[in-house]
Amino acid sequence: MTTASATIGTTLTLNEGYFAKRNWFDWLFAAIVIAGGLYVFSRYNGAMDVYEKGILLGAMPSAIMLGWFWRPLRTLMLAVAGLSLLGIVSYQGSLASADSVFWLKYFLSSQSAILWMSMLFFMSTVFYWVGMFAPRQGEAISLVASRLLWVAVAMALIGTMVRWYEGYLLGSDIGHIPVSNLYEVFVLFCWLTAAFYLYFEEQYKTRALGAFVMLVISAAVGFLLWYTLVRGAHEIQPLVPALKSWWMKLHVPANFIGYGTFALAAMVAFAYLIKQNATETRWYKLAPLWLLGIVLCFEPIVFRKSSAGGMSDYWAVYFGISALIVGSILFGRRQIAAKLPSFEILDDVMYKSIAVGFAFFTIATVLGALWAAEAWGGYWSWDPKETWALIVWLNYAAWLHMRLMKGLRGTVSAWWALSGLAVTSFAFIGVNMFLSGLHSYGTL
C-alpha cells in the first residue's frame, strides 16, 4: 500500500501542470504586464495602426512567458519599467528637464543611462578578468562582475526606453523605436549579447566564460563611445522614409539576436581553443591568440581614417589596452584553462548560441524580405547588406548541418565558429564602412 501511494505521488508530481508551478510573484508579474499593456493600448491605440496594435498585444504574453521561463527577467523587466517611467514622468513634457532634474541629468536621461551602461560593461570586464586570475576570492570577484553586468543591461534598456520617449518630445514625426542607426543598434547588440550570456552563465553554473564574452561587448562599447565623440551619433535624428515602417520593430531586434549570439558563440569558441592549447609552447599552435591580437590591434588602423579633432589618442589607448589583454591571455593561458568549464560544456554553449542565433536570423531575413517588398517593390535586390546577410546565413546553416548530420565537434567546430565572427562583423559594420546600397543608414 505504501509503495502504491508513493508511485501515485511521484506520478502526480511529474504530471504537475505548467500553471501549477507558478508562484505568487509569477502571477503578480503577469498581472502587472497585462495591466501595463492594456493601459498603453487604451491610451495610445489611436496613434497605432493595426500591425502596431498586434505587436503590442502579442508582446504582453511574450513578456510573461519570458519572465516565467527565466525568472531573473521578471525583476529586470519590472526594474527597467519602473525606472523608465520615472525618467519619462520627470521630463514633464520638456527636454529641458534633462539638465535641471537631478536623476535625469546624472542617471535616467538616455545619454546618461547609456554612458552608465558603457562604464558598467567596462567594469564588469575588468572584474571578470581579475576573478579569472585572482588566487583567492576569485568566485566572489566574478560574482561582482556578474552583478555589474546585470545592472549594465538594465541601464542599457532604460536608456533605450527613455530615448524612445525623447524622440517624441522632439516631435511626433521624429519619435521612433531606437533601432534605426549604428549608435542605437550597437546599444541593442551590447545588451542582447550580455543577456544571452547571463542566461548561459546561470544554466551552466560557471562565470569563467564572462571574461571572454565581455571582450567582444567591451570592443563594441569602445566603438560606440568613439562613434559618439566623432559623429555626435547620440543625437536623435528623423527617420528616412524607408524606415518609417512597423517592420523595423520586428526585423532589427530579430537580426541582432542573431548577431549577438553569433558573437557569443565565437568568444566561447575562442575560450575552447585557449583551453585546448593551454600547455602548448610552439608559437604557431597559438594561432587563435595571435588572431585575436591582430583583430583587436587592427581596429585602430581601420577607424583612424575617420578620426578627427584629436581622436587619434583614443585609438592609441585602445591599441595599448588590446595589446595588454592579448599579452595577459598569452602568459596566463594555463591558469585560464584551469578555470574554464569542460570541453563538453563549451561545445554545448557554442551550439546552443548558434542554434538560437540562426533561428532568429532566419526570421529576420524573411521579415526583411517582406519589408523590402513593401518599401522598394521587390523581395530581394542583391544589395550589399542583403548579400552579406545571405553569406552569414549560409555560413551558420552549413555549421549546423555539419554538426547535426555529421557530428561536427572539437577543433574544427570551434575554428569555424570563431572565423564566423569575421563574416558576421563585416555584415554588421563592414558593409556600412566600405560598401554602399539601399541599407546605408549608418555610415561612418
- Per-residue pLDDT reduced to its tens digit, 7-36: 544 444 444 577 878 899 999 999 999 999
Are residues 170 and 181 both part of a single domain? no
Are residues 187 and 228 both part of a single domain? yes
pTM: 0.90
**pLDDT class for 135, splitting at 50, 70, 90?**
confident
Q: For residue 437, what are the domain limits? A: 176-444
**C-alpha triplet 119, 193, 231: angle, nearest 5°:** 55
- Asked if 158 and 90 touch (Cβ cutoff 8 Å), the reply is no
d(CA 53, CA 55): 5
- Per-residue pLDDT reduced to its tens digit, 350-375: 999 999 999 999 999 999 988 888 87
Q: Which pLDDT score is estimated for 297?
A: 56
Residue 7 within any structural domain of the chain: no
Are residues 228 and 370 both part of a single domain? yes
Are residues 337 and 222 both part of a single domain? yes
Q: How far is CA 283 from the centre of its chain?
A: 33
- Per-residue pLDDT reduced to its tens digit, 284-329: 666 666 666 666 555 555 555 544 444 456 666 777 777 778 778 8
Are residues 197 and 272 both part of a single domain? yes
Are residues 119 and 187 both part of a single domain? no
Residue 301 within any structural domain of the chain: yes
CA atoms within 13 A on the CB side of 437: 18
C-alpha separations of 171 from 216, 319, 404 in Å: 35, 41, 51
Are residues 163 and 287 both part of a single domain? no
Does 281 score more than 80 pLDDT? no
8-state DSSP, 394? H
Residue 44 within any structural domain of the chain: no
Residue 111 within any structural domain of the chain: yes
Does 1 score more than 50 pLDDT? no
Residue 14 within any structural domain of the chain: no
Residue 395 within any structural domain of the chain: yes
**C-alpha triplet 47, 36, 187: angle, nearest 5°:** 75
Q: Please state the rounded mean pLDDT for residues 387-398.
A: 95
Are residues 118 and 202 both part of a single domain? no
Choosing from 141, 159, 175, the residue where a domain stops is: 175
Are residues 284 and 386 both part of a single domain? yes
Are residues 245 and 108 both part of a single domain? no
Are residues 155 and 197 both part of a single domain? no
Task: Label residue 171 left, alpha or beta by phi (over 0 means left) and psi (-120 to 50 means alpha).
Answer: left
